[in-house]
């Protein structure tokens, strides 16, 4: 398992002292720590969460979406706990709290950034369910795999946004190469360092750290996350399900413990839902 010191020391050294990681609300840190204990309950944190009005409102807005509560209207966080469950509520609060710390980032359209991140997260969750893994961990890894890019754009505001202006379509390994050239670091390294510093479980940290590796370890969350980023890229390109599945890296499908021949039947309809802006 990685440690905050081992990752952060290397990242800060490579950044030459320019890197400052965002701080997050205390309640979000406490909920992140609970990810290491599946039996932990968020009920005793509801009162504390209600002292963060913006975060509480954001959580309720998402919890009231058709996907989570159907036609029922949730008036309070206690209702949300009762209807959607503690694990889902914890994920919503963590994701909402971390998104909220990035108010404005030089050279980044945050609305588009989080839309892409959400598609990646939903794809990761769907693929992980097919593989029989931890779907909530996959969702968080997908949502936060690229936050290091935001941190780098803030830390290197004088150089990186200008470089990226000529590479707006870059993503994944291509984006990482541009970042390393300009900053000496890439978003996978910085994302993993920040998530590790916040106390996320190693399964999430390691997936984010290694999803761009050329030789991804099979049986981990990393290949699933890598596939999810490919799915998001296909949706952005306007591909239909058949073309998107054809583009998937077969070696990653195998490493993710998925059966390529069954993806068309099992994941194809979910891809179409994601592409249409629905839930997978």
Angle at 169 between CA 143 and CA 115, to 5 degrees: 30
Give the C-alpha separation, 219 to 203, whole Å. 11
Give the C-alpha separation, 207 to 98, whole Å. 18
Q: Could you write out the DSSP letters of every residue in 233-247?
A: HHHHHT--HHHHHHH
Residue 209 half-sphere exposure toward CB, CA atoms < 13 A: 22
In Å, the largest CA–CA distance within the chain is: 52
More confident residue, 264 or 3: 264
pLDDT in tens, 138-170: 999 999 999 999 999 998 998 998 998 877 788
pLDDT in tens, 28-80: 888 888 888 767 777 777 777 777 887 788 778 777 877 666 666 778 888 87
* Per-residue confidence (pLDDT) for residue 121, from 0 to 100: 95
Fold entry, domain 7-21+105-280: Hypothetical protein af1432 (1.10.3210)
* Per-residue confidence (pLDDT) for residue 15, from 0 to 100: 58
* Per-residue confidence (pLDDT) for residue 126, from 0 to 100: 95
Going by C-alpha positions, the residue among 256, 253, 249, 263 that lies closest to residue 219 is 256
pLDDT band at residue 178 using 50, 70 and 90 as cut-offs: very high
Contacting residues for 25 by C-beta, under 8 A, at least 6 apart: 52, 55, 97
Start-end ranges of CATH 1.10.3210.10 in the chain? 7-21+105-280
Give the C-alpha separation, 159 to 169, whole Å. 18
More confident residue, 17 or 183: 183
pLDDT in tens, 194-248: 999 899 999 999 999 999 999 999 989 999 999 999 999 999 999 999 999 999 9
Specify the pTM: 0.87
pLDDT band at residue 3 using 50, 70 and 90 as cut-offs: very low
Contacting residues for 85 by C-beta, under 8 A, at least 6 apart: none
> Taking a C-beta distance cutoff of 8 angstroms, is the pair 167, 160 a contact?
no
């Amino acid at each position: 398992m990685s440690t905050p010191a081992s990752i952060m020391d290397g990242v800060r050294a490579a950044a030459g002292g320019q890197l400052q990681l965002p701080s997050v609300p205390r309640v979000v840190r406490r909920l992140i720590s609970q990810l290491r204990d599946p039996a932990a309950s968020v009920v005793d944190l509801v009162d504390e969460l209600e002292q963060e009005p913006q975060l509480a409102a954001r959580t309720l807005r998402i919890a009231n979406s058709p996907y989570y509560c159907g036609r029922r209207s949730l008036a309070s966080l206690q209702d949300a706990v009762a209807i959607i469950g503690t694990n889902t509520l914890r994920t919503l609060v963590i994701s909402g709290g971390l998104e909220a710390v990035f108010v404005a980032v030089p050279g980044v359209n945050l609305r588009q950034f989080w839309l892409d991140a959400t598609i990646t997260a939903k794809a990761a969750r769907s693929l992980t369910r097919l593989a029989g893994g931890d779907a909530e961990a996959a969702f968080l890894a997908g949502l936060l795999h690229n936050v290091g890019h935001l941190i780098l754009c803030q830390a290197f505001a004088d150089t990186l946004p200008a470089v990226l202006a000529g590479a707006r379509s870059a993503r994944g390994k291509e984006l990482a190469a541009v970042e390393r050239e300009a900053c000496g670091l890439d978003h996978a390294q910085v994302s993993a360092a920040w998530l590790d510093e916040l106390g996320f479980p190693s399964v999430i940290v390691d997936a984010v750290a290694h999803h761009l590796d050329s030789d991804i370890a099979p049986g981990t969350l990393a290949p699933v996350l890598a596939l999810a980023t490919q799915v998001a890229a296909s949706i952005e390109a306007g591909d239909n399900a058949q073309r998107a599945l054809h583009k998937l890296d077969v070696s990653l499908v195998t490493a993710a413990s998925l059966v390529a021949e069954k993806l068309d039947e099992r994941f194809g309809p979910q891809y179409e839902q994601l592409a249409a802006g629905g839930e997978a």
